[in-house]
């Protein structure tokens, strides 16, 4: 390696010399030669929507169901999510399809509740450096997926993973979800290079979120493929049974048939880098 320079401090639990961390969730292992696809709607809106989405994800070969019950929103007047009611809906979808669930937790006091339902706890980009929350999920019994902050350096991001590991929870997945740049056509700029950088600097699995990373439906498929080609261990994709009716992120949510097509198209890319879908 020619020149991957980081400050001295980052030589920590995230790079322990014991090899890549493999995290087993249901029948899926994140961090090995299987590519993990997490998909579903941005927000849990109602029972029908989530069950329909779950069936589509399952049918197309996806591995984990995503859906937000607690939603971080720019304004307090926007839809804030269904809370525990949303978690119960996700639980029902898991019961029917067998898909494990990933969902966001936004405050330390909600961790107990959310981990009682979720299979993976998601920490959102806005909370990447919410250290009280990181410490709390560091004591949780479930794996944690830590999204990169909108303008976090990779070193800061790894520092946040360190907060979780330091509390004893070693099942941490990193998620590149786009960084904030001056470009305005895309919602964010998906930093695909973060994938190989993370692979070199840590042992943690890393997944890519091309939905938030671009904000535009027609860019999700090419960027999902780019993420796989760059070495990602998985994908986080927004898919909604009816994107035009979505309460949030409709513009970046795939239609069901687009998700199904993408699942088929990703398989050969995965194969070309020694992974399977």
Closest separation in Å from C-beta 45 to a copy of itself: 19
Instruction: Tell me which residues in 136-165 interact with a copy of itself (CB under 8 A).
Output: 150-151, 153-156, 159, 162-163
- Asked whether position 259 contacts a copy of itself by CB under 8 A, the answer is no
Q: Which residues have a Cβ under 8 Å from the Cβ of 155 and sit 6 or more positions away?
A: 6, 7, 10
Per CB under 8 A, the list member of 186, 242, 247, 261 interacting with a copy of itself is 186
Closest separation in Å from C-beta 99 to a copy of itself: 26
Closest separation in Å from C-beta 27 to a copy of itself: 25
Per CB under 8 A, the list member of 113, 129, 242, 261 interacting with a copy of itself is 129
Using N-to-C axis directions, what is the helix angle for 154-165 and 194-201, rounded to 10°? 50
Rounded distance between C-alpha atoms, residue 8 and residue 30, angstroms: 28
Q: Which residues have a Cβ under 8 Å from the Cβ of 178 and sit 6 or more positions away?
A: 150, 186, 187, 188, 189, 190, 191, 209, 212, 213, 214, 215
Cβ contact 191:179 at 8 Å: yes
Total residues in contact with a copy of itself, by rule CB under 8 A: 79
CB under 8 A: which stretch of 38-46, 85-93, 111-119, 187-195 binds a copy of itself?
Answer: 187-195
- Asked whether position 43 contacts a copy of itself by CB under 8 A, the answer is no
Instruction: Tell me which residues in 82-121 interact with a copy of itself (CB under 8 A).
Output: 106-110
Cβ contact 45:241 at 8 Å: no
Per CB under 8 A, the list member of 83, 91, 189, 261 interacting with a copy of itself is 189
Task: State both tokens at 92.
Answer: 């029902």
Per CB under 8 A, the list member of 190, 204, 206, 207 interacting with a copy of itself is 190
Kindly tell me which of 26 and 83 has the beta carbon lying closer to a copy of itself: 83
Closest separation in Å from C-beta 247 to a copy of itself: 15
Dihedral (CA of 191, 196, 197, 201) sign: positive
In degrees and rounded to multiples of 5, residue 175 shows phi and psi of: -130, 115
- Asked whether position 130 contacts a copy of itself by CB under 8 A, the answer is yes
- Asked whether position 19 contacts a copy of itself by CB under 8 A, the answer is no
- Asked whether position 20 contacts a copy of itself by CB under 8 A, the answer is no
- Asked whether position 16 contacts a copy of itself by CB under 8 A, the answer is no
Closest by CA to 105, choosing from 80, 70, 134, is 70
Rounded distance between C-alpha atoms, residue 218 and residue 193, angstroms: 21
Binding mask 48-87 for a copy of itself (x = CB under 8 A): ------------------------xxxxxx----------
Cβ contact 93:148 at 8 Å: no
Kindly tell me which of 24 and 139 has the beta carbon lying closer to a copy of itself: 139
Cβ contact 34:276 at 8 Å: yes
Kindly tell me which of 34 and 252 has the beta carbon lying closer to a copy of itself: 252
Strands (E), 35-76: 36-40, 64-66
Per CB under 8 A, the list member of 26, 32, 61, 231 interacting with a copy of itself is 231
């Amino acid at each position: 390696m020619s020149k991957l320079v980081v400050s001295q401090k980052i030589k920590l639990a995230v790079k322990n010399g014991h090899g890549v961390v493999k995290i087993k969730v249901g029948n899926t292992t994140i961090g090995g030669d299987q590519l993990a696809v997490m998909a579903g709607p941005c927000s849990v809106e109602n029972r029908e929507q989530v069950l329909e989405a779950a069936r589509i994800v399952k049918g197309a070969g996806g591995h984990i169901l995503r859906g937000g019950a607690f939603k971080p929103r720019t304004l307090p007047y926007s839809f804030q999510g269904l809370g525990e009611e949303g978690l119960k809906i996700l639980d029902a979808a898991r019961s029917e399809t067998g898909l494990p669930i990933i969902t966001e937790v936004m405050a330390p006091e909600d961790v107990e509740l959310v981990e009682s339902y979720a299979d993976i706890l998601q920490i959102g980009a806005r909370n990447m450096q919410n250290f009280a929350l990181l410490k709390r999920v560091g004591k949780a019994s479930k794996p944690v997926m830590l999204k990169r902050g909108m303008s976090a350096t990779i070193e800061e991001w790894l520092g946040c993973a360190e907060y979780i590991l330091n509390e004893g929870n070693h099942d941490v997945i990193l998620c590149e979800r786009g960084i904030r740049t001056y470009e305005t056509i895309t919602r964010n700029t998906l930093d695909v290079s973060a994938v190989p950088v993370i692979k070199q600097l840590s042992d943690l699995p890393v997944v890519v979120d091309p939905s938030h990373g671009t904000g535009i439906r027609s860019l999700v498929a090419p960027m999902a493929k780019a993420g796989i080609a760059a070495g990602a261990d998985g994908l986080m994709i927004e898919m909604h049974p009816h994107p035009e009716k979505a309460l949030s992120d409709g513009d970046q949510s795939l239609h069901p048939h687009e998700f199904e097509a993408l699942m088929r198209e990703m398989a050969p890319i995965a194969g070309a880098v020694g992974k399977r879908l």
